[in-house]
Structure 1
């Protein structure tokens, strides 16, 4: 094709620009417009949700408003809203609607709404919502304790449990003597007195089974119950840990020789029961020795009909594995311990020494009482 040459004037004039392309019919379609709008809204919505989640997560994990240590009691069946109200009411979390809303949503986000445990909780200053949630889910409640000394009678134990200010409920059934294990028991607020006694009973049953299983051969006790009886006497005779096994050995030797145990604490228990050590009834008179008393091991052969207290682990283990000696007697030595003897003659000499110590102590006390009071 032959191209027609342009004139000089035409060559100097610019060519007109092409017009805009025609808009596609698809773009002008209302459905497309609606889809574009929805996509735009979704993007902005996702951005808003992401921002809200980020803000909520930061708020959930950051330090809270609490300024000093606080203890909060969460009651059973309070529910998430009730727990939130209790926490905000005591300043553990902020009482604003936003913070309460974040706390509730955070708990639900972690699927812990039904896992929060009742109890008494101690919170430190600045505790975060996340830390609060962790404590409530794991049940990291404040624990309290009650300590039962070894050898205490059931009456003594009942009195201590009843006086505990945190325990709740009444004791309607008194456990048998010797059925409770003296130890320190921990519990959370809301524990019942019966519940603590049940723990002591279960612990005693478990321990007794273990001790009985590994007992020495040829013990003069035929049942676990008899082991507890003898251990309760050992427990009352000495408070020194290194003496229990030797005192147990004395009683085992006497039983094997068909000798009476002649233990003073058994007299007291026979006369006053578990109340004997609730009051000062340690002195035994000659008339007490002669009173009819089924627990009096000066009068009866063998073991008394039941324990005279609740022995601890060490006393039961001492009876299960007593010292292998020829000792048949022991008496106080004046220092808190005892001196042991194999023969009655040795024992009588030890008794005379003890009586001399007692006389000297009484004389010293009398001399102190008669000294005139000095004035400044």
Structure 2
């Protein structure tokens, strides 16, 4: 009898072991298999949040089938107490294992809200944006001019109070160093004074992530280091026979190219025009340099050039001086720097707007005059003032 009892007990133990093994394998499969989430969601983890609350939120939102299995898996991998505060994008069909990794990995937020301080050529603005997890695109919630005497949108105040809001400073191509420093003085998440305006042209246009309390000077240093690296790389890869003795001279040319066209594919052609003029001993004759001589880069002129200004002798009036002006006239982007150092091979020495946002290029003055006539007709049809200049 005892032998029978022992045999039955052993059988039962084996069955229990197999059942437990099967249960473990099933749970492991549940933890690592594709999840039920049909569309991406943004999961916000509050500072000090516990995994139990987060897991139940994931269940309610259809991201996982069992909060308990998620917690057991996180405990087994020793990640239960490693939750990071912030907002994190959970992709469709993410497994529990992937979700735990996303919520415990740390680093920058991958979704949620973002406040962008934009430094533009003609104006600056603050944009409040929120990521739409379904499209993985930001949706603008509000925008305002920080220099304007107007109430700040409620969305901005609300986002500023959230712990997971990210901040960016987005610097456009073609802005001046003075404009950058002036705008940064109104970026309220940054701190500290800027002793001097950085050299013109030596700040890299880009989007920079910043944190509350970051130094304005430290951000400018990042911008300058990035531009130095871009210029050095482009100079190393430059074409032969260019009319520049130093990288700084190439940067001056790049800034002129930047101000003359916003069409990316045109930049090598525009570069070729100015290089051809230099090589033929012609004056550059470009309006943006004249404007810089008037404004010193401190804001925009806001009107057309006067004939007297085109005749006035200043270090930046390329209708009067020979060669390049003494410094850049703006901060050029990478594409303009590369165009200045690897220009297109053309015979063009003239260009004028063609009415499409681009330019018509010409090899001779006769061709150029025909293009100018076409452009003036387009202006006339649009009801705009012909020529873009004013007389005194």
Q: Is residue 249–residue 324 contact of structure 1 (8 Å, CA) maintained in 2? A: yes
Partners of 2:363 and 2:299 lie apart in 1 by 29
Which residue of structure 2 lines up, in the alignment, with residue 212 of structure 1?
235
Deviation at 1:326, TM superposition (A): 4.8
Q: Tell me, in whole angstroms, the C-alpha distance in 2 between the residues paired with 1:126 and 1:355.
A: 55
Is 1:315 the counterpart of 2:282? The answer is no
How many residues align? The count is 318
**Runs of at least 5 residues in structure 2 that lack an aligned partner in the other structure:** 1-9, 112-135, 139-167, 386-392
User: Match for 2:380 among 335, 357, 360?
Assistant: 360
- 1:289-346 deviation digits (Å, cap 9, x = unpaired): 3556443323444322322222233322221123444544433445541332445xx4
Residue matched to 2:252 = 229
Match of 1:4 in 2: none
Gaps of at least 5 residues in structure 1 are 1-38, 367-376
| Per-residue deviation, 1:212 | 0.5
For 1:247, which of 258, 261, 270 is the aligned residue?
270
* Cα shift at 1:151: 2.9
Describe the shift of the 1:50–1:328 C-alpha distance in structure 2 as closer, same or farther (beyond 3 A): closer
Q: CA 1:71–1:234 in structure 2 vs 1: closer, same or farther (change >3 Å)?
A: same
From 243, 267, 270, the counterpart of 2:293? 270
* Cα-to-partner distance string for 1:188-240 (whole Å, 9 max, x where unaligned): 99896968766654543333222101212232222222211111101211233
* Matched ranges for 1:147-226 at <5 A: 149-154=172-177, 169-170=189-190, 172=192, 173=194, 176-182=199-205, 185=207, 201-226=224-249
Aligned equivalent of 2:42: 71
* Rg comparison, structure with higher value: 1
> Aligned equivalents of 2:186 and 2:43: distance in 1?
23
Specify whether residues 126 and 301 from structure 1 end up closer, same or farther in structure 2 by C-alpha distance, changes over 3 A only.
closer
1:284 matches 2:305: yes
Q: Offset at 1:284?
A: 0.9
Q: Assess, with a 3 A threshold, how the Cα gap between structure 1 residues 57 and 197 changes in structure 2: closer, same or farther.
A: farther
Contact residue 354 and residue 375 of structure 2 kept, 8 A: no
Q: Distance in 2 between matches of 1:144 and 1:190?
A: 24
Indicate how the Cα distance of structure 1 residues 180 and 92 shifts in structure 2: closer, same or farther if over 3 A, else same: farther
Q: Does the Cα contact within 8 Å between 2:177 and 2:199 map onto a contact in 1? A: yes
Distance 1:316-1:86 versus aligned 2 partners, 3 A rule = farther
SS of equivalent residue, structure 1 residue 92: helix
Q: Tell me the TM-score normalised to structure 2 length.
A: 0.59
- TM-score scaled by length of structure 1: 0.61
Q: CA RMSD in A?
A: 5.2
Higher helix fraction: Structure 1 or Structure 2? Answer: 1
